[in-house]
Structure 1
Amino acid sequence: MDRDELLRQIADHTSDPSFVLGLSQLPNPDEVLRKAGLSHQVYDQVLTDPHVMSKVIDRRAGLLRREWQVKAGGDAAEDLKAVALCEQAVADLEEHEEYPLENSLGILQEAALRGHRALEVVWRRTGGGWLPEFLRDIPNRRLIHTGVQWRLLTIDAPSHGIDLPQRKVLLATHMASTDNPYGEALLSRCYWPYLFKHNGLKWWVTLAEKYGLPWIIAMLGGQTEEAQRRELLSKLVAMAVDPVTVLPKGAEVDFKLIEGVSPDVHDRLIRISNAEISKVLVGQTLSTEMDGSSGSRAAAETHSGLRDEIVEADGKLVARVMNRLFAWITELNLGPTVAPPKFVWIEEYEPPREWSLIAARAIRSLPGKVPLRWAYDKFGIGEEYREDQDMVAPLVGGGGEAGADFARDDGAFTPQQQALEALAEKSAGAARQILAENEAKLLTVVENASSYEEAMERLLDVYPELATEDLEDLLARTLTAATLYGRYTAGEETAEDDHDADA
């Protein structure tokens, strides 16, 4: 086997008969841009559409509301050092005033909208090491692809560009391929619906102006001069705005509505255009095309499910680029042999166990006062329920209407039953005291908090102080005593039955 042959590329641009060698840059092969004779700068124009921007914001908000963490690439001490370095780096980037990390993550997500997006890493030396000071976005007009590599256009090289320096440019591409290394731009697929929609809006306004108001028709008797007709026409035009006018003697004015003209065709055109835009950007149309045949709940559930899948895909794209940054940080500071950490999005449907416990305690502490939408938001249950304003019902413990007491007759207790009842009463009293102390601590924290978010954060600090171990110990001792006593009384009853049988 010729191993050199395994290393050789046979399907790159250099062997493509359709590729012209010597090109300084490969033109963007986007079919929409090419046929319309446009450049990628038309994307900015498409973004001026309110419907387009609303869906872009919806998609961006879905990603940025998710939480993330830095996960170690290994268990070695050097691997943990890499985690600390990357955590410090992202913490510094989050606090940067001009280029905050949140904005950088949103720019990387824009690769799906524009085909590709890039960030320049501006480094700084700190404590003998290297960390990124901030991430600055690079406009797409500054980037070209030669068919082999990306290049950056500069003042000194405005046509051919320069090679991208190592560890300086973070590049994200969306559905890039050999024929289209620039990536597939979703905004390109929105161009024709955007154009048809705005042309339809223009004609719709013209239609409303032309046929929405009645036609004012005036008749002049006898021979009239052209100047008189023009003067009368100017007065009629003024009547479209002002309700009063002065007409020459003998002039007759009539108002006629034009029948048979329907604006529905333009309404349908705009609706179809908005629906196509929604399909491209957020993968759904149900909430856009609702006409009374579908319920709003079904539309919201469909929208939430499809959008979440798209946001998850955007998250993978962003994480892939951030992992490249973590690899650079690790290599510059600890060497190439250390496993770099990973940028990991936290799955919202798996909230940390501590949050679930504390939320349950908080709800018990404020029966009837905690809205369900707050719990939905904390646990990422889904935005289709966000308008739900129902309140969590107070929790009823023990028996009563919410529970079921053990069946018993109204007769007198036997000594054994009385002993068990006394044990239960004693244990319940001790448990109530422990729970009351815990409840007092929780209520103090919640009442002094100014918001649900602040209450949750402060409850995290107070949670280790709750007397859960005392309660567990009490329950364990009570169950043990009840079990042993039950076995003893069962043995006594068996012995009595045997004695009666012998007698």
Structure 2
Amino acid sequence: MEQVRTSQIVDAAGKPVQVREALSEEQTSKLGFISKEFENHPSGGLTPRKLASILQAAEQGNLVEQADLFEDMEEKDAHVFAEMSKRKRALMGVDWDVVAPRNADKKEEALAEEVKEWLLDMEDFEDHLFDIGDAIGKGYSMLELGWHKLGKTLLPTLEHQSARLFTIDENDRKKILLRNSGGRGDELWPFGWVTHVHKAKSGSIARGGLHRILAWPYLFKNYSIRDLAEFLEVYGIPMRLGTYPSGASDEEKNTLLRAVIGIGHSAAGIMPDGMDVDFKEAAKGASDPYQFMINWCESVQSKAILGGTLTSTAQNTGLGSNLGDIHNEVRHDLLVSDVRQIAGTLNRDLLWPMVALNIPGADPRRGPRIKFISEEGEELNERAERDKLLFDMGYRLNQEKLTEIYGEGYEPVPTNTPEQNDAARPNAAATAAAKAGDNETELDGVVNQLATQAQSPLDDLYNRIKSLLEEVDDNGGTLEDFQDRLVEAFGFLDPEELADVIQMALATAELAGRYEVSEND
């Protein structure tokens, strides 16, 4: 490290910086008692007035209470935790690459490959993406860099630091400082931090986190859960009333009371002869209002975090899980936004410091950059398969949309006229009847029907349905099994489109059924 000529180091913006301190130790080592503080857990006894006070204090620079509240929200609210976990863990599954700048020469391409090797050799790089994703909820996420030498190369280690250790500059609300005992905050050391500020919405750092939006439904839901618990305590248990004869002694009364209490919990008890226990019907009441409020709050939370609700609460419609898959596209838009923001942070605070410290004279304008591959390969193949099925059902992309998705260079091919298609199509029912044998199962006639229909313009779609039928038939399945398989195979379609597929298949099945009836006659 002593060989690095720190006087010639520039940051990603090309400004000269001093990095000697960052290379020698971590800045948090100078925090003292601040790093040993315990969280305050402000969610205890949270009220609208207290919540408003916490949020307002954060806007004025005191981020500690807000950071502690956000930690409590993810810890105490299982729904928020689950939805935020989906959002953050999605980052870990995105492929990435390190690319050279445009019109790169061989030296720049070689540098990009070398930096990629550095990242691949970095321990738990994808786990650090999860930590960076903490900024989605809190507005910012801070990873401290610790530099070490491997051979002749300076490489960093990353450690996520608690959001409560930081504040914002009172003169610049978009600048993060490290807390100090004086209360004003210290400047962050250059090349000492990966500082990711995530924009869930535009505004200052204190107001940019998604948890600011989630805090209010979190509060309202807690009120509803508490009210529901009180309701169940009052209305959920029938009253038990013990009666004793006149003249009973205090000891007999106490025995009866213990028996009444014991019956409520153990469903068993004893009492002296002549005493009775009556169970009164629980008071009438309904938990629906409380449950409605809880469901509403969770629905709002899902919309804010994932952009929709079906990804987390698929309804019991027979198509619920597949409707959730449709909404994954909405979440994909959020994923693209997340990785783009994170890529900018990594290029500025991680990749460029590694290049600047190891490649003397490197130009920050021509440095290698990390690129997340968020919509290529398999996803494009799935889109092509879906578009082909929709085309088979009578829907087609216009030329503008086709070029937007798949690029230029495509021309329409001539297609047969409807008259030619009708002339080429044989009588499906007659063909099925001719091929039917004495030992047909319930689905054999349907398979034969589809064998002839596959010659129509809907060849591919019919063939897929036919293969499903054959598979169900081979396994001794029924038409109900066949319908379930249709939902599984074509569930990614919109509900109306899926209904068209099922209608087409079952219509053919009906023809086969009529054929069997005619044979029996």
Could you say which TM-score interval applies, normalised by the shorter chain?
Answer: 0.5 to 0.7
What count of residue pairs does the alignment treat as equivalent?
A: 323
Q: Which residue, 63, 73, 82 being the options, matches 2:101?
A: 73
Distance in 2, Cα, partners of 1:278 & 1:271: 10
| Secondary structure class of the residue paired with 1:162 | coil
Given the two structures, how large is their TM-score scaled by the length of structure 1?
Answer: 0.57
Structure 1 residues 43 and 323: alpha-carbon distance in aligned structure 2, compared to 1, 3 A threshold: same
CA offset digits 1:171-226 (Å, max 9, x no partner): 11123899623352212322232333344334434433433332211222325566
CA offset digits 1:100-119 (Å, max 9, x no partner): 11121111111111110011
The answer to whether the 8 Å contact 1:207/1:263 transfers is yes
For 2:112, the equivalent position in structure 1 comes to: 83
Structure 1 residues 269 and 127: alpha-carbon distance in aligned structure 2, compared to 1, 3 A threshold: same
* Amino acid across the alignment from 1:142: L
Percent identity of paired positions between Structure 1 and Structure 2: 20
Structure 1 residues 114 and 326: alpha-carbon distance in aligned structure 2, compared to 1, 3 A threshold: same
Structure 1 residues 144 and 318: alpha-carbon distance in aligned structure 2, compared to 1, 3 A threshold: same
Larger radius of gyration: 1
Q: Which residue, 43, 46, 51 being the options, matches 2:73?
A: 46
The answer to whether the 8 Å contact 2:177/2:186 transfers is yes
* Amino acid across the alignment from 1:86: V
Distance in 2, Cα, partners of 1:110 & 1:136: 13
For 1:153, the equivalent position in structure 2 comes to: 179
The answer to whether the 8 Å contact 1:116/1:183 transfers is no
The answer to whether the 8 Å contact 1:32/1:188 transfers is no
Q: Which residue, 136, 149, 157 being the options, matches 1:112?
A: 136
Once the 2 structures are TM-superposed, how far is the Cα of residue 53 of structure 1 from its aligned partner?
Answer: 1.6
Distance in 2, Cα, partners of 1:137 & 1:210: 46
Distance in 1, Cα, partners of 2:355 & 2:115: 8
| Secondary structure class of the residue paired with 2:357 | helix
Given the two structures, how large is their TM-score scaled by the length of structure 2?
Answer: 0.55
Distance in 2, Cα, partners of 1:176 & 1:349: 25
Aligned residue runs from structure 1 range 436-447, under 5 A:
none
For 2:166, the equivalent position in structure 1 comes to: 143
Structure 1: gaps (5+ residues): 1-29, 357-399, 405-503
* Amino acid across the alignment from 1:139: S
| Secondary structure class of the residue paired with 1:40 | helix
Once the 2 structures are TM-superposed, how far is the Cα of residue 229 of structure 1 from its aligned partner?
Answer: 4.0
The answer to whether the 8 Å contact 2:169/2:185 transfers is no
Bigger mean CA deviation after superposition, 138-147 or 181-190: 181-190
Structure 1 residues 189 and 228: alpha-carbon distance in aligned structure 2, compared to 1, 3 A threshold: farther
* Amino acid across the alignment from 1:150: I
Once the 2 structures are TM-superposed, how far is the Cα of residue 260 of structure 1 from its aligned partner?
Answer: 2.4
Q: Which residue, 310, 315, 331 being the options, matches 2:334?
A: 310
For 1:174, the equivalent position in structure 2 comes to: 198
Q: Which residue, 203, 212, 218 being the options, matches 1:194?
A: 218
CA offset digits 1:259-305 (Å, max 9, x no partner): 42112222212211211211121111235555556941563134201
For 1:378, the equivalent position in structure 2 comes to: none
| Secondary structure class of the residue paired with 1:68 | strand
Q: State whether structure 2 residue 374 is matched by structure 1 residue 347.
A: yes
The answer to whether the 8 Å contact 1:60/1:109 transfers is yes
Once the 2 structures are TM-superposed, how far is the Cα of residue 236 of structure 1 from its aligned partner?
Answer: 0.6
Distance in 2, Cα, partners of 1:306 & 1:320: 22
For 2:155, the equivalent position in structure 1 comes to: 131
| Secondary structure class of the residue paired with 1:112 | helix
Distance in 1, Cα, partners of 2:57 & 2:176: 25
Distance in 2, Cα, partners of 1:336 & 1:35: 44
Once the 2 structures are TM-superposed, how far is the Cα of residue 76 of structure 1 from its aligned partner?
Answer: 2.4
The answer to whether the 8 Å contact 1:216/1:255 transfers is yes
Distance in 2, Cα, partners of 1:72 & 1:120: 26
For 1:252, the equivalent position in structure 2 comes to: 276
Q: State whether structure 2 residue 86 is matched by structure 1 residue 62.
A: no
* Amino acid across the alignment from 1:68: W
Aligned residue runs from structure 1 range 209-358, under 5 A:
209-223=233-247, 228-288=252-312, 291-292=315-316, 295-297=319-321, 299-324=323-348, 325-334=350-359, 335-337=361-363, 339-351=366-378
* Amino acid across the alignment from 2:55: R
Structure 2: gaps (5+ residues): 1-50, 59-64, 383-450, 456-521
Q: CA RMSD in A?
A: 3.3
Once the 2 structures are TM-superposed, how far is the Cα of residue 163 of structure 1 from its aligned partner?
Answer: 1.6
Once the 2 structures are TM-superposed, how far is the Cα of residue 235 of structure 1 from its aligned partner?
Answer: 1.9
Distance in 1, Cα, partners of 2:342 & 2:183: 30
Bigger mean CA deviation after superposition, 45-54 or 74-83: 74-83
The answer to whether the 8 Å contact 2:201/2:209 transfers is no
Distance in 2, Cα, partners of 1:401 & 1:284: 42
Once the 2 structures are TM-superposed, how far is the Cα of residue 340 of structure 1 from its aligned partner?
Answer: 0.7
* Amino acid across the alignment from 1:243: A
CA offset digits 1:46-102 (Å, max 9, x no partner): 112221121122112322111110010241244224313311220121xx2xxx111
